Structure 1
Amino acid sequence: MSQIPVIAIFDVGKTNKKLFLFDENYRIILEKTARFTETTDEDGDPCENLESLRLSVFDSLREVFRRKDVVVKAINFSTYGASFVYIDEEGRPLTPLYNYLKEYPETLSEQFYNSYGGKTAFSVETASPVLGSLNSGMQLYRLKYTKPEIYNKVKYALHLPQYMSYLVTGQACTDITSIGCHTNLWNFQQNNYHTWVTKEGVLEKLAPLLISSDVLPATFPGSNYSVGIGLHDSSAALIPYLVNFHEPFVLISTGTWCISLNPFNDTPLTNDELTADCLCYMTFQGKPVKASRLFAGYEHEQQVKRIAAHFNQQPARYRTIEYDQQIIRLLQEKNKQDTHRAPDKKLMQSSVFAQRDLSNFTSDIEAYHQLMLDIANEQYIATKLVLDGASVKRIFVDGGFSKNAIYMNLLAALFPDIEIFAASMAQATAMGAALAIHNTWNSKPLPNDLIELKYYSATHDATI
């Protein structure tokens, strides 16, 4: 029996840890999911169980290598960002894998920003709002000043994707998609590490910077597969779109957060954009990706529960509600003051629908259409923030809202001059990690049919 060439991808989220095997046509040969019980750090805060994660990598690889029907040509990793693993000279972790939601000491934050130009100027330079521990460079700064005895033992601070690669290769490296994602480490204006990284001596704790398409040899004797250096998951999810589409586009990745990503907009972030929760990611090619965030998935979940309770319905009912243009026109007439709003930075942090009185609606269907109308207007404002400065022809929507007919039709009406598509593909993040090192393991050309698209057109009588 001939063996199928495959790439193994470890896709590590906060909740689910997955292993995929893709064949050369990017079909999924194996999908395996695991969950680990969180542990706690020395302060009692929840954090990732690093040892369970490490053991699962080796256990999974041993299982794959025992298979007779496949031959592993490469391995790569995509994980959530903003988390460092601090290793010593022997490669052993020195601390827990601190949670990026861990509260950051206010006095230390003030000390840092007062030393390096103030929050506003610094945020513009690093293309990120002030986010505490979510700015992962601040975790290094914290370690230096609160645990100097541990900091002095640190050989390298590795972002989680690169630590996972290190487990298999024994080579420490740094990846631009992790460094370039709201870390406070990268000066986007100078396209280099920020000056504080050198002044504080942090640079010597960062491994050599490689590009995302680089591969390394495995440490196992006799192994003949390549190992990628790992990618930040948001940047990895963009790769299939960058591979398949070359005309300027925006990707709205929807889930708990709806993130509008524009890899074709290189205009510097303004103070107003930063205040409205805009930031920059980095593509696997090292180019800035202007992005805006909206908490719309969470808002949708909470308000659906409220509607269901008020009208004595099951929340699952709203997963398949059809778009009713007549209801939308009725709501537009009732709420004209809400449907032509100018961009309002405060809107990003508040829910319009949460302030509405449900007794004003004649049915739960009407209320749900109003919820989606409010969310669509909020999405319009958020996405517009990253559209300026780039001539975008298409908007792709993936994730949960791509399956919501009301959301998609409203978005098409809001952007009548841009083609709106619902995009679906299997495991974009994992596939992106595989595509990043395509040329090192795959003998076939890059596929052009990875993404299924459904077009939504703006109807003439549905102008928002």
Structure 2
Amino acid sequence: MTKVNAVFDIGKTNKKFFLFDEDYNEVYRDYVNLPLTVDEDGFETENLETLRSWIKETFDTILEDSRFDIKTLNFSSYGASLVHLDYKGKPLTPLYNYTKDIPKEILEDFHTKHGDKLTIGAATASPPSSGMLNSGMQLYWLKKTKPELFSQIKYSLHLPQYLSYLFTGIPVSEYTSIGCHTNLWNYDEEDYHKWVHDEGIDKILPAIVPTSASINTTYKDKKIKIGVGIHDSSSALLPYILSKKKPFLLLSTGTWSIALNPFNSESLSKEDIEDNCLNYLRIDGKRVKASRFFMGNEYRLQVEKLCEYYQKEYGYHRDVIFDRDIYLKLIKMPAVYFKFEGISLQRLPHRTDLELFDTFEEAYHQLMIELMELQIDTINKAIGNSNIKKIFIDGGFTDNDVFMKLMSHHFSSFKVLSTHSPLGSALGAAMVISDKQITSQFLKENYRMKKLVPLLF
């Protein structure tokens, strides 16, 4: 019987369950896509009851599997999502989708009462949002629009902590969930922001415990150490923090490109907030400076247009490799040719002009050059004044040859490494409640690290 660490990794789309042995080798996995539901306004959202049922059924089944001896259980999930429990421990509301908008008048009322967007945003390291992406605003919205329901809330739990609560019955809060652009945490004061106390919202937020905390409990006659859960972005960063002693930056690429710097303790300015900088909290409550832009989303939109213009099937772009001659030709005529759809920048033209590019490959290289300009900017903002000489790149764009070659070129004074880990945040969730030390060698072997060679022209 293999001793294992169990992790539920709950993404917006894929729900995953992993078992890791004592050396963090994956020995079992289960993936599922669960049907969504709608809230009272017809807005699509996670079906909390379906999610709860799948988690309980999956875990109960694996407990009966004679191949495995489960020693620990932890949870990683997306953030900006709250579960509001009544005095009997039952959810009072749907799990509201963080893309749902909050009425403009509610936001205006909040800022009139508690401070302007940039002042609050700088203090809480949370760029303003029109919706529930700043999840603390959901609590303000509930208090103002549904006061009778709000009065019934005993505890509001961040989603990772609710998943833990399903097994322990103990409500807690922890740093990584509090710190992910919630508008709740004053980073300089290292406490909830004054508005949280003024509105009495702190009374329904459970006691804060370290992310590494665990609860020894008996579940169905089995003694198990159960973690309190962790926010997925912080969890994905954790293996690097645990195994690397010298400062580094992690560039996480995908729908968003997020530059994460765990070694920058500077307070954010109003200008940082305007530039879409933010902070996350590490498991020990220290800040992680981050800068992000909607790269993957913009990339997808523009590639679709390129495929249509050059009459290529979508997917053709995946085989485009870096062409030195095309690149040298394009940088001799620097200009902006793409009108970005999902990124608002004053420098962009009113329409995309592809007439100067003879081939798909030329236009594609130009697109990547223009996206790289934004990427360079976000990385430099995240680095700030910290002494960083090493950059790790993970996520979907590590398979993009043009992107990776441009990264190696523009950051030639850094040691740049690509990493591949299909386990992502699940591995961090297993590690955070373990006593086992993580080494650089472990990271090198399991993340398939590859050093990028700077281009020579």
TM-score (norm 2): 0.94
| Partner in structure 2 of residue 343 of structure 1 | none
Q: Check the 8 A contact 2:298/2:343 in 1, yes or no.
A: no
| Partner in structure 1 of residue 388 of structure 2 | 392
1:201-229 deviation line (CA, Å, top 9, x unaligned): 11110111010110013352522110000
Residues 371, 354 of structure 1: alpha-carbon distance in 2 compared, 3 angstrom cutoff: farther
Q: Check the 8 A contact 1:292/1:385 in 2, yes or no.
A: yes
From 341, 344, 369, the equivalent of 1:373 is 369
| Partner in structure 2 of residue 342 of structure 1 | none
| Partner in structure 1 of residue 292 of structure 2 | 293
How far apart are the structure 2 equivalents of 1:332 and 1:134?
A: 38
1:72-124 deviation line (CA, Å, top 9, x unaligned): 00000011111110111211111111111111111111111121122121111
How many Å apart are 1:244 and its aligned residue?
A: 2.3
From 394, 408, 415, the equivalent of 2:411 is 415
Pick which of 162-171 and 370-379 moved more.
370-379
| Partner in structure 2 of residue 438 of structure 1 | 434
* Pair 1:313-2:309 in alignment: no
Q: Check the 8 A contact 1:348/1:382 in 2, yes or no.
A: no
| Partner in structure 1 of residue 108 of structure 2 | 110
* Pair 1:209-2:208 in alignment: yes
How far apart are the structure 1 equivalents of 2:56 and 2:50?
A: 10
How many Å apart are 1:425 and its aligned residue?
A: 1.4
How many Å apart are 1:4 and its aligned residue?
A: 0.6
1:138-179 deviation line (CA, Å, top 9, x unaligned): 111111111111111111000110000000001000011001
Q: Taking every aligned residue pair, what percent have the same amino acid on both sides?
A: 39
Structure 1 counterpart SS, 2:419: strand
Q: Check the 8 A contact 1:353/1:371 in 2, yes or no.
A: no
| Partner in structure 2 of residue 458 of structure 1 | 454
| Partner in structure 1 of residue 181 of structure 2 | 182
Residues 354, 401 of structure 1: alpha-carbon distance in 2 compared, 3 angstrom cutoff: farther
Spell out the pairing of 1:136-151 with structure 2 (5 A cutoff). 136-151=135-150
Deviating above 6 A after TM superposition, structure 1's stretches of 4 or more consecutive aligned residues are: none
Structure 2 counterpart SS, 1:217: strand
* Pair 1:101-2:91 in alignment: no
How far apart are the structure 2 equivalents of 1:406 and 1:301?
A: 15
Q: Check the 8 A contact 1:353/1:374 in 2, yes or no.
A: no
How far apart are the structure 2 equivalents of 1:182 and 1:445?
A: 28
Residues 286, 353 of structure 1: alpha-carbon distance in 2 compared, 3 angstrom cutoff: farther
From 86, 90, 110, the equivalent of 2:88 is 90
How many Å apart are 1:136 and its aligned residue?
A: 0.8
Q: Check the 8 A contact 1:403/1:422 in 2, yes or no.
A: no
Q: Check the 8 A contact 1:348/1:378 in 2, yes or no.
A: no
Q: Check the 8 A contact 1:79/1:233 in 2, yes or no.
A: yes
* Pair 1:281-2:280 in alignment: yes
| Partner in structure 2 of residue 359 of structure 1 | 355
| Partner in structure 2 of residue 18 of structure 1 | 16
| Partner in structure 1 of residue 5 of structure 2 | 7
| Partner in structure 1 of residue 35 of structure 2 | 37
How far apart are the structure 2 equivalents of 1:304 and 1:331?
A: 18
Residues 25, 55 of structure 1: alpha-carbon distance in 2 compared, 3 angstrom cutoff: same
How far apart are the structure 2 equivalents of 1:267 and 1:457?
A: 31
Q: Check the 8 A contact 1:240/1:428 in 2, yes or no.
A: no
How many Å apart are 1:352 and its aligned residue?
A: 5.2
Partner amino acid for 1:24? E
Partner amino acid for 1:5? K
How many Å apart are 1:348 and its aligned residue?
A: 5.3
Residues 269, 298 of structure 1: alpha-carbon distance in 2 compared, 3 angstrom cutoff: same
| Partner in structure 2 of residue 425 of structure 1 | 421
Residues 307, 353 of structure 1: alpha-carbon distance in 2 compared, 3 angstrom cutoff: farther
Partner amino acid for 1:297? G
TM-score (norm 1): 0.93
* Pair 1:78-2:76 in alignment: yes
Structure 2 counterpart SS, 1:312: coil
Structure 2 counterpart SS, 1:360: coil
How many Å apart are 1:445 and its aligned residue?
A: 6.2
How far apart are the structure 1 equivalents of 2:54 and 2:158?
A: 18
Structure 2 counterpart SS, 1:157: strand
| Partner in structure 1 of residue 344 of structure 2 | 349
How many Å apart are 1:347 and its aligned residue?
A: 10
| Partner in structure 1 of residue 267 of structure 2 | 268
* Pair 1:156-2:179 in alignment: no
How far apart are the structure 2 equivalents of 1:353 and 1:47?
A: 36
Q: How many residues align?
A: 449
Q: Give unpaired runs (5+ residues) of structure 1.
A: 340-345
Spell out the pairing of 1:238-249 with structure 2 (5 A cutoff). 238-249=237-248
How far apart are the structure 1 equivalents of 2:420 and 2:309?
A: 33
Partner amino acid for 2:154? K
Partner amino acid for 2:304? K
Partner amino acid for 1:321? V
How far apart are the structure 1 equivalents of 2:336 and 2:104?
A: 38
